[in-house]
A and B are shown apart, each in its own frame.
Chain A
Amino acid sequence: MKRAIALTLAVMFFLSAFIWIPQSSSARQPADLCYDDWEACRSRAFESEQGIIRTTLWLTVCDFALGKCLLRL
Chain B
Amino acid sequence: MKKPGLPLVLALGLGCHGQWGFSRQAAPPHYTARETMRQTRTDDQFFLSRPVAIALDKSRLFVLDMDDADIKVFAKSGEYECTIGRKGQGPGEFHLPSGLDVFEDKLYVADSANRRVQVIDLKGRYLSGFKVPFSPHRILALGPNRIVVMSLPSGRDGPEKMLHGFDGGGGLLWEAGDSYYSQDSVYDLMRNRWFVLKAIGGEFFLVRAANGRSVRRLDGDGTLLGEAEVAEKYPSQEIEIPSRGGRKRILDVFCWNCASDREKVFLLVPERTEDGDLGPGRTIAVIGPAGHILASIDLPERLSRFAVEGNTLFGIDLDARLRIFNLESK
Do A and B interact with each other, yes or no?
Answer: yes
- CB of A53 within 8 A of CB of B241, answer yes
Cβ < 8 Å to A, chain B residues 258-297: 270, 273, 275-280
- CB of A50 within 8 A of CB of B279, answer yes
Partner of A39, one of B113, B242, B276: B113
- CB of A53 within 8 A of CB of B318, answer no
Q: A65: CB under 8 A from chain B? A: no
Query: Which residues from chain B contact A51 at a C-beta distance below 8 Å?
Result: 273, 275, 277-279
Query: Which residues from chain A contact B98 at a C-beta distance below 8 Å?
Result: 43, 47
* A30-72 contact mask (Cβ, 8 Å, vs B): 1 or 0: 0000011011101110110111111111011001000000000
Residue of chain B at shortest CB distance from A36: B113
Q: B135: CB under 8 A from chain A? A: yes
Q: B152: CB under 8 A from chain A? A: yes
Q: Which of B124-132, B160-168, B183-191 contacts A (4 or more CB under 8 A)?
A: B183-191
Partner of B152, one of A36, A43, A57, A60: A43
For A4, A50, A52, A59, which residue has the most chain B Cβ atoms within 10 angstroms? A52
Query: Which residues from chain B contact A60 at a C-beta distance below 8 Å?
Result: 186, 242
Query: Interface size for chain B: under 10, 10 to 19, 20 to 34, or 35 or more residues?
Result: 20 to 34
Partner of B190, one of A4, A43, A49, A55: A55
- CB of A54 within 8 A of CB of B277, answer yes
The CA-CA distance from A4 to B276 in the complex, in Å, is 11
For A4, A35, A42, A54, which residue has the most chain B Cβ atoms within 10 angstroms? A42
Residue of chain A at shortest CB distance from B240: A53
- CB of B185 within 8 A of CB of A59, answer yes
Q: B19: CB under 8 A from chain A? A: no
Query: Which residues from chain B contact A50 at a C-beta distance below 8 Å?
Result: 277, 279
- CB of B279 within 8 A of CB of A39, answer no
Partner of B242, one of A42, A47, A57: A57
Interface residue count on the A side (C-beta < 8 Å): 25
Q: B84: CB under 8 A from chain A? A: no
Q: B253: CB under 8 A from chain A? A: yes
Partner of A1, one of B185, B275, B304: B275
Given contacts A42-B152, A46-B152, A63-B186, contact A52 B275 (CB under 8 A): no
- CB of A47 within 8 A of CB of B50, answer yes
Q: B156: CB under 8 A from chain A? A: yes
Residue of chain B at shortest CB distance from A57: B242
Q: A15: CB under 8 A from chain B? A: no
Given contacts A43-B113, A52-B241, A60-B242, contact A35 B156 (CB under 8 A): yes
For B135, B186, B253, B270, which residue has the most chain A Cβ atoms within 10 angstroms? B186
* B305-323 contact mask (Cβ, 8 Å, vs A): 1 or 0: 0000000000000101000
- CB of B277 within 8 A of CB of A43, answer no
B176 to chain A, nearest CB (A): 21
A18 to chain B, nearest CB (A): 19
Q: B112: CB under 8 A from chain A? A: yes
* B232-271 contact mask (Cβ, 8 Å, vs A): 1 or 0: 0000000101100000000101000000000000000010
- CB of B242 within 8 A of CB of A43, answer no
Q: B52: CB under 8 A from chain A? A: yes
B318 to chain A, nearest CB (A): 5
Given contacts A39-B152, A46-B193, contact A56 B186 (CB under 8 A): yes
A39-B154, A40-B113, A46-B137 given; name 11 further pairs at CB < 8 Å. A39-B152, A40-B112, A51-B279, A52-B190, A53-B242, A53-B278, A56-B186, A56-B241, A59-B190, A60-B186, A63-B185
Chain A residues at the B interface, C-beta cutoff of 8 Å: 1, 4-5, 35-36, 38-40, 42-44, 46-47, 49-57, 59-60, 63
